[in-house]
Amino acid sequence: MSDDTTALMRRAYQRWAPIYDVIYDKLTEPAARAVVAAVERCGPRILEVGVGTGLSLGYYEPGSEVHGVDLSEDMLRRARRKVERRGLRHVKGLAVMDATRLGFADASFDAVAAQFLITLVPDPEAALDEMARILRPGGEIVLVNHFGQDEGPLAQIEKALAPVSARIGWSSDFKASRVTGWARRNGLEPLPLKKVFPGGFFKLLRMRKPA
């Protein structure tokens, strides 16, 4: 990511940080719980990329070993406070890091979660390459996001609503097929998209690295 883009993103989330939980906590809880359930099935070593204020950190089992990274120190500060306040001992580390340059060794995690992140990264394929690199064989990348429809009546509605959705960071221009296409080209198996609350607006996408 260029320095300018990084600075813009950090500034945007500096503004979001104080109000983020009030707006998104209940809206994203079912999606976050679905992601946590999926990654925990892969094993205890889990990385959350774009962990933000750590809304999902309380949903993990105590036996998990969760690391979280995010570009925004302002968002991470709130995540650290949650970890301390709630005594979330399964959270092993929270660090400032760019999704396209993850400072972890190859194959060091059983699963990688990224909630409401991938559509924000200017080079999503570079972020996915990094997630795949640090994932062990047989592990999964689990994303949740609003993805635009490729076709059908909903695609037309999304097109009409595009200016509004873009303002809240849920552009419908980004299709899940961009991610599943990346997965197939890179030897990962994309599993069928799962609709989650509200009304399937958010979708969960699992991609399995061959064992």
Which residues sit at the interface with ligand SAM, rule CB under 6 A? 1, 9, 13, 24, 28, 32, 49-52, 55, 70-72, 75, 98-100, 115-117, 120-121
Q: What is the closest distance, in whole angstroms, from the C-beta atom of residue 123 to ligand SAM in the complex?
A: 9
Measured from the CB of residue 47, what is the shortest distance to ligand SAM in angstroms?
Answer: 11
Minimum CB distance to ligand SAM smaller for 15 or for 184: 15
User: Which residue of the chain is nearest ligand SAM when measured via CB?
Assistant: 52
By beta-carbon proximity to ligand SAM, the closer residue of 138 and 169 is 169
CB of 156 to ligand SAM, least distance (A): 26
User: Angle CA(136)–CA(140)–CA(145) in degrees, nearest 5?
Assistant: 140
Nearer Cβ to ligand SAM (27/184): 27
User: Minimum distance between the CB of residue 57 and ligand SAM, rounded to whole angstroms?
Assistant: 10
Least distance to ligand SAM, CB of residue 210, Å:
26
Task: Please identify, using beta-carbon distances, which residue of 51 and 183 lies nearer to ligand SAM.
Answer: 51
When the beta carbons of 98 and 158 are compared against ligand SAM, the nearer one is: 98
